[in-house]
Amino acid sequence: MRASPRKGNTRQSSNRQRKQQHLLDVKVRARTAMAQRTRRITSWTCIVLLVVSVLGGIGYGIREGARRLFLQNTDYNLTEIAVTKDGTLTRQQLLEVSGIREGVNIFSVNLATAQEKIAALPQVEHVELQRTLPNKIEITVGERKPVAWLTVKAADDPSTAPDAFLVDRRGVLMKIKSPLPEYHHLPVITGMPTENFDAGQTVHAPELKSALDLIRLAAESPLQSRFQVRSIDLTKGYCMVVTNQSRAQITFGLDRVESQLERLAIFLDRIEQNRRELRAINLMVQRNVPVVYAPLEEAVPAEATTPEAAPDKSGPTAKKTDFLKEKWKASVAGKASPTPSKSSKSPSVRKAIPVGTSRNLNR
């Protein structure tokens, strides 16, 4: 008999069949992955839409609730505007600039915008706005304090000059329609062209900075009672010619103003000790400082101003003089005069006797 072949691990399919089988498996896996991805995208989209809808509903509810509870609630209508200021700005000016008015809803007022508008005014140094529920807004304004007038030429009333500005300690220019009465007595700085200056502008010129420093230091120093700045002329550009309360002219350099004030205090002490009056001095010179005094006939001695310096008409000297006058009259009339006592004779009395009476006194 013919022996049959032994069965082993032989492949039951051909190469072509195996390739087709592999392709079918790949297609099935790709379709499955695509279906799964589609399901995930759909589920996430639904979740996102649901969340957005919920958040939108919550936002709409909050907005609508806020509108009905606050924006349309008459309890929050603005009924009180408290304005605190320390200068020339009026309440009406501040309200017009800020745009705040009574009767509107307090939450409809933009405090940041209103604060920026008020701070833009040249004379405003700082401003603060505060909302107090349910119906009050507080406005606190701190204005710049002018320390001098700035003009081209000196005038009797600088407030009427068209080119005059008020300037504060930082050099900020201001135009005020109705200055306060105390502003009229501020020092006047002249000699700088102001035709190109505008209100609210900060001037950084070194000569103006030195003039402002001098005004500040003079007001803070012990010299305030003896040296008061009335005007400062900056025409020369390299120095300051200051006129004080007694119309004396003091020339200052632009640098080291404080040390020059200390030297001026020393000179004023010496002048007062000598009872002289200052007319001019140049503090720019370090040695051999030129000083001009008032003439002696213009200086009034201190004794003439005191009541004690006036002659006493009821003193003993006046009585002796009256006695001698009576004796001289008696001698002229040929009458005997009383003999004066020894105590009444003195050199001062003899000097007051007329020349023609010496013989009568020697009898």
pLDDT in tens, 263-317: 999 999 988 888 888 999 999 988 888 889 888 655 444 444 334 444 444 555 4
CA 56 to CA 275: how far, in whole Å? 90
**What pLDDT shows up at residue 64?**
74
Q: End-to-end CA distance of the chain, in Å?
A: 214
pLDDT at 330: 58
Contact 136, 167 (CB under 8 A): no
Structure confidence by residue, pLDDT tens digits, 339-352: 444 444 433 333 33
Confidence at residue 5, expressed as pLDDT on a 0 to 100 scale: 56
Indicate if the pLDDT at residue 259 is higher than 50. Answer: yes
The pLDDT of residue 323 is 55
Whether 215 shows a pLDDT value over 70: the answer reads yes
Q: What per-residue confidence (pLDDT) applies to 348? A: 36
Q: Which residue did the predictor score with more confidence, 209 or 178? A: 209
Lowest pLDDT segment from 84-88, 116-120, 137-141, 233-237: 84-88
What is the third-level CATH fold of 76-143?
Ubiquitin-like (UB roll) (3.10.20)
Query: How far apart are alpha carbons 134 and 101 in whole angstroms?
Result: 15
Is 143 within 8 Å of 123 (Cβ atoms)?
yes
Is residue 135 within 8 A of residue 75, CB to CB? The reply is yes
Confidence band for 75, pLDDT divided at 50, 70 and 90: confident
pLDDT averaged over the chain?
A: 78
Higher pLDDT, 221 or 4: 221
pLDDT the model gives residue 56: 87
CATH architecture of 146-302: 3-Layer(aba) Sandwich (3.40)
For residue 233, the model assigns a pLDDT of 95
Q: What percent of the chain has pLDDT over 70?
A: 72
Tell me the C-alpha to C-alpha distance, in Å, between residue 50 and each of 61, 344, 345.
Answer: 16, 130, 131
Selected residue with higher pLDDT from 279 and 356: 279
Sequence spans of domains, the chain: 27-72, 76-143, 146-302, 320-362
Judged against a pLDDT cut of 70, whether residue 354 lies above it is answered with no
Greatest mean pLDDT among 16-20, 68-72, 285-289:
285-289
Task: Report, as an integer, the average pLDDT of 331-358.
Answer: 41
d(CA 70, CA 135): 11
Contacts of 347 (CB under 8 A, 6+ apart): none
Calculate what percentage of the chain has a pLDDT beyond 90. 34
Mean pLDDT of 107-127: 91
Give 237-245's long-range contacts (Cβ < 8 A, gap of 24+): 237/191, 237/207, 239/284, 240/207, 240/210, 240/211, 240/214, 242/214
Vertex 125 angle, CA 122 and 128, to 5°: 115
